[in-house]
Structure 1
Amino acid sequence: MRTGLTRSVTTLAAAVALVAGGAVSASAEQTPAAPDTGAVRAALQRVVDSGAPGAFAVIRDHGTPGLDRSLAIGKADLDGTPMDTDRRFRVGSNNKMFTSVLVMRLVEQGRIDLDKPLRDYLPEGTLPQDWPITARQVMEHRAGVYDHTNDLLEQSGEETTDAFEKRIRNNVYAPKDLVAMSVKHGLQYTPGGAYSYSNTGYVLMGMAAEHLTGRPYAELLREQIFKPLKLRQTSFTVPKKSITGPHITGYLTNDDRSKPLLDSTEQTASWIWSAGGVVSSASDLDRFVTALLAGSSGGLVSDDSLRQMASVIPTSTAKISYGLGLREITLSCGKVLGHGGIVQGYQTQTFSTPDGKRTVVLFANASNNGAVTQSLTNTLEPAFCSKTTASPAPRRSLTGNKKSSHSVPAVEDTRI
């Protein structure tokens, strides 16, 4: 067994730099084709045209550095600051990958069994005694746990500006209270019987990590992930509202579209906690996901843990599958692994080829806008797939643009 703090920083750094032999791919020797830079830029322009002040794509090819690309469109704030790929931002549900790493390290230490009742690893009374849900089901979003964010954000539609000011920006919630909001709704279906995305599940996993280690969640992140990987732009400061250092301003699209965008940068993020409260940067997300997908050589999780995380199950959305804190998306040139995240004012997509050779971080500084979400997600296709590897796009109709057969479904809840 391994303790959580004895990983080698040297091993971590080497894995990030070299990404030698990802644990979930047999195609490590293949040299990826250059991304379709023109199509990436056009896709980012569509993000801005849809209502985001700015957007960017950071593409890193660890085996072929000459293929690296950083493209930025628009503004980092409404004062006119150009969009900057080096600034910090809220990552939303990309946080779930971090939480999953903490959990899998506990699995490796024999401190949690993914297939036993999760209630046994939580403070007494957190979950009802008759709830049979397991950590694996929770991490796969197949436990039937009601998502507490539906209560906070008003479940019916993209009406979040008013809810944000009333219940999100300044409110401080204890994790146990978030879970209590969910529990009062009861289990939504027989555990394991369906897929339904639930942020509450990852609040539960953060609570389990704290309970089993006796350490605050923020300290676990810092000691087991941030410091060893030298993620100097990554932090978890919930419920502190501000983002320190150079950062991008986030904007919530007003419920009344005739009104201006709402600056939502400052918020406690306690409403989402271990499911979405991390602040990071494109370079740090690249470093993190590269180390994660390197398995044992990356120093975060073992090869076996990575295989379990990447063992995905299809969801009800075509081209989308989900594992343990990792989402798999099928593009025209192959599959990619990672996660997306939306939190008021910010949305990010962080994905990689399974071998870790190419990572892509996409970002836009607006939310509560489904068109922005869809346009940003569609940028994954040209970022990973070159003109030669992607299939031809359909012809444009005389009456309008025909939706591409390679359009990627926007699977995140567009309200958060």
Structure 2
Amino acid sequence: MSRRRNLRDTSGVRWMGPVAVAAVMTLVAGAATAASAEPAPAVPDASGVRAALQRTMEAGAPGAFAVIRNHDGRGGDQTVALGAADLDGRPMDAGLRFRVGSNSKAFASVLVMRLAEQGRIDLDEPLRDFLPEGTLPLDWQMTGRQVMQHRAGVYDHTDDLLEHTGEETTAAFEQRIRDNVYEPADLVAMSVKHGPQSTPGARYAYSNTDYVLMGLAVEHLTGRPYADVLREWIIEPLRLRQTSFVVPRKAIDGPHATGYLTNDDRSKPLLDSTEQTASWIWSAGAVISTAEDLDRFLTALLAGSAGGLVSDGSLRQMPRVLPTPTAKISYGLGVREISLSCGKVLGHGGIVQGYQTQSFSTPHGERTVVVFANASNNGAVTQGLMGALEPAFCGKHTRGPGRPFTEDTDRNDTTVPVVEDTRV
């Protein structure tokens, strides 16, 4: 039986329609300015960003871009776009739409936190009580908070879909991903049959199934399709005009970058993987968006109540991160933290067939950075893209207050490691 406490919104956040979004973003900018009593972010190192994007392309991506936006009133926005949006040679454009992959988890976490604010879900009770009956076994005690932190011991169903021994990634994509339509409950069933992988709360293990479960909780507790809740609670209030969730429709509407899946056999050509149902990843990775919309979403989120997405109380919980096995990377409630030489940044990343995106912000939203490449299944592309974050946030000359940066001596301090979610 569900332990729902009440259905009244007790969050104290005023949920706004589209007409109020201009006022919302003014409040967001004001919140960032107020927070900027801290030192201003360093001037971005445009040449360093460009060099990282160039390395990304040399590793195999047709094109890449970085969008740097400052929200502290000091100006200095920058956009760098290199290479091609498709193999026909169309120039890369930072305004194009693309699949954001696991950046979708930050969207899902906002919906769950709002449900918690309304008393519809208790993140410290077993998650099974807030899901359709039978979704999880009765003896599975992991809480919603542990699931959101990837510390629940839930097997990642995508391992069954993508990692068959001896099978090329491109073959797996064509056989089980591009055209297949999966029900979210069936994805969870794939995971459940493997049993718990660890004691809940004992260790971190990234699992896309965790956020399929949170999407199912959203549907169960609202009685509405996930896509509708996402649209009405996030997309429409923030006027994210280029953001959509269209599972299982395969096409990306409007101007978009073509995504390419790198073949495991590098002698074979890139595979156009743009069109896919995305049902295999659903609420954990199926959002389509743009750099501009990701900037708006992340800035509103980090403004707390002023941004209109979550309350200040929820915002305090989401970045309470715990370490992961990857150096410099920690994880909270749908939010990843990366330690750079000049401080910590918050956001998420996404790697899904054909597309890679990292979208991060300074903790109070003074600066956001979105970096993108249109190729996946290539660790060198991922490393190149991650390498754009350090110069975008920290600039050329500082690695900390009063400490000079020298590339030869501080290379290890400034290299951002590839995160563990190398597929989604």
Which TM-score bucket, shorter chain as reference? Answer: over 0.9
Contact kept in structure 2, 1:28 and 1:355, CA below 8 Å: no
Contact kept in structure 1, 2:14 and 2:308, CA below 8 Å: no
2:405 to 381, 392, 396: 392
2:68 to 59, 62, 78: 59
* More off after superposition, 366-375 vs 154-163: 154-163
1:2 to 2, 9, 20: 9
User: What is the CA distance between 1:106 and its match in structure 2?
Assistant: 0.3
Counterpart Cα distance in 2 of 1:243 and 1:54:
18
- Corresponding residue of 1:236: 245
| Cα shift readout 1:284-342 (whole Å, capped 9, x = no counterpart) | 00000000000000000000001110111111111111000000000000000000001
Contact kept in structure 1, 2:61 and 2:374, CA below 8 Å: yes
Q: Which amino acid in 2 is paired with 1:8?
A: M
Whether 2:231 is the aligned partner of 1:222: answer yes
Counterpart Cα distance in 1 of 2:20 and 2:306:
7
Contact kept in structure 2, 1:28 and 1:357, CA below 8 Å: no
Counterpart Cα distance in 2 of 1:34 and 1:304:
31
- Structure 2 CA distance for partners of 1:162 and 1:67, relative to 1, 3 Å: same
Q: Does the residue aligned with 2:119 lie in a helix, a strand or coil?
A: coil
1:137 to 143, 146, 149: 146
Q: Which amino acid in 1 is paired with 2:211?
A: Y
Counterpart Cα distance in 1 of 2:382 and 2:164:
18
Counterpart Cα distance in 2 of 1:93 and 1:196:
15
User: What is the CA distance between 1:405 and its match in structure 2?
Assistant: 2.8
Counterpart Cα distance in 2 of 1:65 and 1:163:
48
Q: Does the residue aligned with 1:267 lie in a helix, a strand or coil?
A: coil
User: What is the CA distance between 1:64 and its match in structure 2?
Assistant: 3.4
Whether 2:28 is the aligned partner of 1:21: answer no
Contact kept in structure 1, 2:29 and 2:73, CA below 8 Å: no
Whether 2:420 is the aligned partner of 1:407: answer no
Q: Which amino acid in 1 is paired with 2:9?
A: R
Contact kept in structure 1, 2:153 and 2:205, CA below 8 Å: yes
- Structure 2 CA distance for partners of 1:15 and 1:178, relative to 1, 3 Å: same
Q: Does the residue aligned with 2:120 lie in a helix, a strand or coil?
A: coil
| Cα shift readout 1:141-194 (whole Å, capped 9, x = no counterpart) | 000000000000016699411100000000000000000000000000000000
Q: Does the residue aligned with 2:80 lie in a helix, a strand or coil?
A: strand
Contact kept in structure 1, 2:383 and 2:417, CA below 8 Å: yes
- Corresponding residue of 1:193: 202
The alignment-based identity, stated in percent, is 70
Q: Does the residue aligned with 2:413 lie in a helix, a strand or coil?
A: coil
- Corresponding residue of 2:3: none
- Corresponding residue of 1:83: 92
Name structure 2 gaps, 5 residues minimum: 1-7
Tell me how large the CA RMSD over aligned residues is. 2.0
User: What is the CA distance between 1:387 and its match in structure 2?
Assistant: 1.5
Counterpart Cα distance in 2 of 1:308 and 1:3:
17
Within 5 Å, which residues of 2 pair with 1:29-40?
A: 29-40=38-49
2:361 to 322, 344, 352: 352
Counterpart Cα distance in 2 of 1:50 and 1:364:
11
- Corresponding residue of 1:343: 352
Q: Which amino acid in 2 is paired with 1:19?
A: A
User: What is the CA distance between 1:20 and its match in structure 2?
Assistant: 2.7
Contact kept in structure 1, 2:204 and 2:325, CA below 8 Å: yes
Counterpart Cα distance in 2 of 1:357 and 1:329:
16
Q: Which amino acid in 2 is paired with 1:316?
A: P
Q: Does the residue aligned with 1:180 lie in a helix, a strand or coil?
A: helix
| Cα shift readout 1:62-101 (whole Å, capped 9, x = no counterpart) | 1235310000010000000000000100000000000000
- Corresponding residue of 1:267: 276
| Cα shift readout 1:46-75 (whole Å, capped 9, x = no counterpart) | 000000000000000012353100000100
Q: Which amino acid in 2 is paired with 1:353?
A: T
Contact kept in structure 1, 2:208 and 2:284, CA below 8 Å: yes
Q: Which amino acid in 1 is paired with 2:23?
A: A
Give aligned pairs, total.
410
- Corresponding residue of 1:303: 312
Contact kept in structure 1, 2:249 and 2:277, CA below 8 Å: yes
Q: Does the residue aligned with 1:19 lie in a helix, a strand or coil?
A: helix
Name structure 1 gaps, 5 residues minimum: 397-401
Counterpart Cα distance in 2 of 1:213 and 1:6:
18
Q: Which amino acid in 2 is paired with 1:241?
A: K
Counterpart Cα distance in 2 of 1:161 and 1:19:
44
Counterpart Cα distance in 1 of 2:302 and 2:15:
16
- Structure 2 CA distance for partners of 1:102 and 1:54, relative to 1, 3 Å: same
- Structure 2 CA distance for partners of 1:96 and 1:381, relative to 1, 3 Å: same
Within 5 Å, which residues of 2 pair with 1:159-174?
A: 159-174=168-183
* More off after superposition, 384-393 vs 166-175: 384-393
| Cα shift readout 1:255-289 (whole Å, capped 9, x = no counterpart) | 21111100000000000000000000000000000
Counterpart Cα distance in 1 of 2:259 and 2:192:
31
| Cα shift readout 1:113-165 (whole Å, capped 9, x = no counterpart) | 00001000000000000000100000000000000000000166994111000
Counterpart Cα distance in 2 of 1:290 and 1:14:
14
- Structure 2 CA distance for partners of 1:157 and 1:281, relative to 1, 3 Å: farther
